[in-house]
Amino acid sequence: MIIDNLVRRINELRAPIVVGLDPRIESFPEHIKNEPAAKAVVTWSKEIIDNVFDIVPAVKPQIAFFEQIGPDGYTAFFEVVKYAKEKGMCVIGDVKRSDIASTAAGYSNAFLGAENENEKKPDFITINPFLGYDSIEPYITNCINEDRGLFLLVKTSNKGSGDIQDLVLENGEKLYNYLGKLVQKWGEPYIGESGFSRIGAVVGATHPSQAIELRKLMPNVFFLIPGYGAQGGSGKDLKDVWVKNYGSVVNSSRGITEAYQSDKFKCNPDEFGKAAREAALEMKKDLEAFM
């Protein structure tokens, strides 16, 4: 099962890490920036993948950065998915779609449907659960048929996440905890040999105490943890969220892909791939210190 494959690879590499691919053309080195936009984001993504595929189990291309280029960018997103899968990486498509069931079936086919030699699709996608369980079901169908998985938003990493997610319910419980328990229940029929379900959750590292609460309520739910690095989360913040076999994969985007601009890894922009590799190894060390 796909979730077991991800858990296995994380353990082989001792790296519960996913590199977020948020291609910002304005931060590309000149020789890539001068390519047509849709070609540039593929060149850039491949360079990152080439430098991390043997030390990190997964990449997370963020489709918004591809969509803003227009239809060619949409094509580029799937090119990057294909390239990363061919390099043996697990691909988490960060698409955060949401809609009623009849429409969700369309998104489910778009991102989790059958693939062929020329067209590859992500192993996992992120989904916004605000519309309720019936809006999730069409994805689960494809997850079973095509051996894929989901990460449902439970507590996001942004400051404003509290506006809705932290609301206190009539029984005194926070909304994110209530939702966390729902995701645990929704995922229980799909638990693999690793002990984790193919239905995972997004839980931000920027709210460590909340992540710890959620960890207790969701024993079989694998976490995708954004917010590390550029957004402020660290290994220290995460140590109490780890469970058997980590139980989570921590995302870093700019912290790795734009490391060449940082004080620590500063180098020629042409060497952004090499800096990304060094930053990923540094992240691994930071996380290992707290395992």
Q: Which residues are catalytic?
A: 96
Cβ atoms of residues 62 and 81 within 8 Å: no
Indicate the residue type of 186: W
Within residues 162-191, the interface with a copy of itself by CB under 8 A covers 162-165, 167-170, 172, 175, 178-179, 182
Q: Do 257 and 281 touch, CB atoms closer than 8 A?
A: no
The answer to the question of residue 75 lying near a copy of itself (CB under 8 A) is yes
Residue 248: which of 286, 187, 204 has the closest Cα?
Answer: 204
Q: Does 25 bind a copy of itself (CB under 8 A)?
A: no
Least Å distance, CB 193 to a copy of itself, is 29
- Distance separating alpha carbons of residues 219 and 58, to the nearest angstrom: 22
DSSP 187-225: HGGGB-TTS-BSEEEEE-TT-HHHHHHHHHH-TT-PEEE
Q: Which stretch binds a copy of itself (CB under 8 A): 70-78, 83-91, 191-199, 241-249?
A: 70-78
Binding residues among 196-235 for a copy of itself as defined by CB under 8 A: 226
Query: Considering the rule CB under 8 A, would residue 240 count as an interface residue with a copy of itself?
Result: no
Question: For residues 146 and 12, what is the distance between their CA atoms, to the nearest angstrom?
Answer: 24
One of 104, 143, 211, 276 touching a copy of itself (CB under 8 A): 104
Distance CA 221, CA 7 (A): 12
Please report whether residue 68 would count as binding a copy of itself according to CB under 8 A.
yes
Q: Among residues 4, 35, 50, 99, which is the contact residue for a copy of itself, using CB under 8 A?
A: 99
Among 27, 43, 109, 234, the residue binding a copy of itself under the rule CB under 8 A is 109
Specify whether the CB–CB gap between 191 and 222 falls below 8 A: no
Q: How far is the CB of 133 from a copy of itself (least distance, A)?
A: 5
Contact status: 97 vs a copy of itself (CB under 8 A)? yes
Stretches 9-17, 58-66, 208-216, 283-291: which one binds a copy of itself (CB under 8 A)? 58-66
Closer to a copy of itself at the Cβ: 164 or 291?
164
Token pair of 270, please?
Answer: 């042409």
Cα gap 18→199, rounded to integer Å: 17
- Pick from 64, 114, 144, 291 the residue near a copy of itself by CB under 8 A: 64
Q: Are 18 and 250 in contact (CB under 8 A)?
A: yes
Q: Would you tell me how many other CB atoms lie within 10 Å of the CB of residue 86? A: 11
Structure tokens at 259: 């490391």
CB of residue 64 vs a copy of itself: minimum separation in angstroms?
3
Tell me how far apart the alpha carbons of residues 132 and 127 are, in angstroms, rounded to a whole number: 11
Instruction: Report the C-alpha gap between 254 and 288 in whole angstroms.
Output: 20
Contact flags string 121-160 toward a copy of itself, x per CB under 8 A? -------xxxxxxxx-----------------x--xxxxx
The smaller minimum CB distance to a copy of itself, of residues 15 and 95, is found at: 95
**Interface residues toward a copy of itself, by CB under 8 A:** 22, 62, 64-65, 67-68, 70-71, 74-75, 78, 94, 96-107, 109-110, 113, 119, 128-135, 153, 156-165, 167-170, 172, 175, 178-179, 182, 226
